[in-house]
Amino acid sequence: MIESPYILGIETSCDETAAAVARGRNLLSNVVASQVDIHARYGGIVPEVASRQHILAILPVVDRALGQANIKPGDLKAIAVTYGPGLAGSLMVGVNAAKALALAWDIPLIAVNHLEAHIYANWVIEDNGGEEEPVFPLLCLIVSGGHSDIVFMRDHLEYFLLGRTRDDAAGEAFDKAARLLGLGYPGGPAVQKAAEHGDGKRVKLPRAWLRGSDDFSFSGMKTALLRLVTSETLSTSPGSHPNVFDAAAAFQESVVEVLAGKAAAIARRRGVKCLLLSGGVAANGPLRRSLQETSPVPVFIPSLSLCTDNAAMVAVCGYYYWMAGRLSGLNLDVVPGLPLTTQQGSSGVFSQ
């Protein structure tokens, strides 16, 4: 039997500098240097600042990932790196570091799309995790700061985009709602925390079902929230009405209801065997619970640390590329606007 390879994953698409080592699906180390405190000062990510922080952090983070996995560079079979989508300057730091290390250690590179890496977070086996794995055909709901996509997969590394957001991504909507409500950055966790003290039934917000389409839209909810905060002074005391906590709860409920409701309906219609959730917004507690309740098929959701950006998902996705013999050359470039469906291997033929 061929032994599973040790693969180093590198992820720098946005504001987390991350490196991880996996042996096949088994995660051996997972290091993330977060820049969240730095960007919080500006109320959002400043791309130029993010790239410079990646430059400072990348080599120490890789070093720590190898150390925690207790392996030497000579044990590695390949380096998997995110080459898009993401911030160009941030991606360049990770890709160039990966190229330099691949050249120095004489091992191949594997180019990984950030969105497929999010999907593959569902294949990562952690220390205490079981080995249960998603079964094809499956549906995956990717909800992150930059994307809200519904993806059908017939097999490994084959993606068919069924629906996407027509405006804001789900995470972006959470971040904007948090800003409107004065809850700080990053918005998703702040809205979830505020919502715990609120009653969503006390504030009416619309739901964008977009009947007949598998797409999403979140800008209407955001505009309704904007109208609310400009027409009313929201109290910061949970006892008085209208208050910020009720508004946060109402916003979260409307986003969660649409995401979970549509994903479950599409899963039923497509006759898939399981439903996967991934991306930063998959860390949202009510969304995790709601999808479990509404899905007609078993649901897979990564642990919290594997929902937001990390390199474990890149390393494990790289393992499936390695098994398929799909390696990349050292002339790899970054593709900031890389869509999921242009991956090699997607047949492009999919009957609706």
What are 352's two structure tokens? 């609706």
Nearest approach, Cβ of 144 to Zn ion (angstroms)?
4
Residue 141: contacted member of ligand KG4, Zn ion, none (CB under 5 to 8 Å, by partner type): none
Using CA atoms, how far apart are residues 188 and 103, in angstroms rounded to an integer? 39
Contact assessment for residue 352 and residue 125, using Cβ atoms and an 8 Å cutoff: no
**Is residue 145 close enough to count as binding ligand KG4 by CB under 6 A?**
yes
DSSP state of 348: -
**Is residue 278 close enough to count as binding Zn ion by CB under 5 A?**
no
**Is residue 144 close enough to count as binding Zn ion by CB under 5 A?**
yes
- What is the 3-state composition of the chain as percent helix, strand, coil, each rounded to the nearest 5? 45, 20, 35
Query: Which residue number, 10 or 283, has a Cβ lying nearer to ligand KG4?
Result: 283
**Is residue 24 close enough to count as binding ligand KG4 by CB under 6 A?**
no
Task: Tally helices (H) and strands (E) across the chain.
Answer: 11, 10
Q: What is the distance between the terminal CA atoms of the chain, rounded to a whole angstrom?
A: 40
Residue 188: contacted member of Zn ion, ligand KG4, none (CB under 5 to 8 Å, by partner type): ligand KG4
**N residues, the chain:** 352
Going by C-alpha positions, the residue among 4, 63, 11, 9 that lies closest to residue 34 is 11
Phi, psi for residue 31 in degrees, rounded to 5: -110, 130
* Segment near ligand KG4 (CB under 6 A); pick from 151-159, 205-213, 276-284, 342-350: 276-284
Query: Which residue number, 186 or 200, has a Cβ lying nearer to ligand KG4?
Result: 186
DSSP state of 235: B
**Is residue 284 close enough to count as binding ligand KG4 by CB under 6 A?**
yes
Beta bridge partners of 10: 19, 81
Query: Which residue number, 200 or 279, has a Cβ lying nearer to Zn ion?
Result: 279
DSSP state of 262: H
* Segment near ligand KG4 (CB under 6 A); pick from 122-130, 186-194, 265-273, 343-351: 186-194
Enumerate residues 115-144 that contact ligand KG4 by CB under 6 A. Answer: 144
Residue in 175, 214, 246, 253 binding ligand KG4, rule: CB under 6 A: 175
Enumerate residues 303-322 that contact Zn ion by CB under 5 A. Answer: 309
Binding site for Zn ion (CB under 5 A): 144, 309
Query: Which residues of this chain interact with ligand KG4, rule CB under 6 A?
Result: 14, 144-146, 171-172, 174-175, 186-189, 192, 279-281, 283-284, 308-309
